[in-house]
Structure 1
């Protein structure tokens, strides 16, 4: 089915992240498994029509998958078949005719930035050793720059310019962007790097965030760290690194930052992706109005 060629393509030519490559592989394996169900055997992509894809989509929805998950899997197929067309294996992309389900709009989940700042400024929450300083740096980086989890894991020590007060981030589609660092974050980075060197594993890794043993940090470490500290200030179920990214964007918007500037800081390709944060600001204005206006 040429899936191996496609995976090699996105891995080495497109240079997608390991997480993205794994997701694409999983989606394709599920689709091929569906195609090769006992009552139908498909051996070549030319035999696949939009009816097969639509039937798979129905099957996924019957399994109670969310519209967002279904859309992501169909997007995988679109890209896969587009690759086969480019390679001359197919003449038509059978996924191009598929209409995906609408995704219900949900406001981004955020935490109260004042409580988050108070926690970060509280000297008793984070220990002064390497682990505590690293944990604080994880929270400060996510909240202070709005970067994604994968972007944080990919930051090298050489990407930090403490003199200029900037960090270079490699985002989606291998697009680089420069994000400013606040003064407190710059001081924290200096302290962290000193402790990292004192642990005698500073030279073992070029990656900024490392484990207690000096190995490159991994997604679960970041997730557990964020969940641990957000539990101090929030009772909401969602306590992921992306919540801090949402909080970063919403805080900037509430403070009057230009939407285009926030778009550049977040690394969004389109302004429409950034505009969702305006809904949070409108809701905030409504709550202020209800509390403050005599006619509310």
Structure 2
């Protein structure tokens, strides 16, 4: 284990102590470990105390020149990044901007802990990402999207409900997948979201039509039986790692251009 690895581990412990979100910490760890490997391969530098602004700028330039997933922390990993559809595609300015932000946090931490004397990120400028206008789906596209789910199959019926809840409540996928049975109030058609982005719990409301469709009409069509009453912990099973890519599968079925579809479109 190098000095770089040790300092990254200490930084991650500090993040845990601060109660940062798991997604944020994964972003930090992945970014920093990739950079540590690159520094070792390119400059044989294994300590953050030897990092200079020139090294960081060189890394940013290398990001713009290489494609996605062409570099991994563990070359012997079995996840086969070459099989990904976006393998080798250009890394966006938004991703590079996130890397710079993560570096700033890490080196600020090292400066505060007096591990380094000078912060090399002090004079490194942010990359301004291009903000694209969100395109709204037409009514007929929404109808086609929801009809593309085969609700006679349990997994697609479950995904249909997740998509409808996003559409009804404006919630994020991660927020919905963290709910438990006690968070649901069927009398008030309300959901309590506990794990939100701003760490503040809030209630969201869904339509009575969704309840009628989910628990009466579609349930009778299921070819795969499940116990009564419908339990959220059973219903959500397998969706812990569900993300945006799962919903784009259904957009392809109805030929909705993937670049036009985001969960914001349902919100």
Aligned to 1:227: 248
Q: Distance in 1 between matches of 2:52 and 2:263?
A: 42
Question: Are the aligned partners of 2:172 and 2:263 in contact in 1 as well (CA < 8 Å)?
Answer: no
Q: Distance in 1 between matches of 2:170 and 2:245?
A: 15
Partner deviation per Cα, 1:129-176 (whole Å, 9 max, x = no partner): 533431210210222222223223222222222222222222224333
Cα-Cα RMSD? 3.5
More helix by share: 1
Query: How far does residue 83 in structure 1 lie from its aligned partner after superposition?
Result: 2.5
Q: Where in structure 2 are there 5+ consecutive unaligned residues?
A: 67-89
2:163 matched to 1:127?
no
Q: Distance in 1 between matches of 2:145 and 2:50?
A: 58
Residues 26 and 129 of structure 1: is their aligned pair in 2 closer, same or farther, counting only changes over 3 Å? closer
Q: Where in structure 1 are there 5+ consecutive unaligned residues?
A: 249-296
TM score, norm. by length of structure 2 = 0.71
Match runs of 1:4-153 below 5 Å: 4-11=9-16, 13-17=18-22, 19-43=23-47, 45-63=48-66, 64-90=90-116, 92-117=118-143, 120=146, 125-128=149-152, 130-153=154-177
Aligned to 2:236: 209
Task: Identify the range of structure 1 (226-235 vs 150-159) with the bigger mean alpha-carbon deviation.
Answer: 226-235
Match of 2:241 among 202, 218, 235: 218
2:206 matched to 1:181?
yes
Aligned to 1:198: 226
2:197 matched to 1:172?
yes
2:240 matched to 1:236?
no
Q: Distance in 2 between matches of 1:227 and 1:61?
A: 27
Question: Are the aligned partners of 1:156 and 1:207 in contact in 2 as well (CA < 8 Å)?
Answer: no
TM score, norm. by length of structure 1 = 0.65
Q: Distance in 2 between matches of 1:59 and 1:118?
A: 42
Q: Where do 4+ consecutive residues of structure 1 move more than 6 Å?
A: 192-197, 200-203
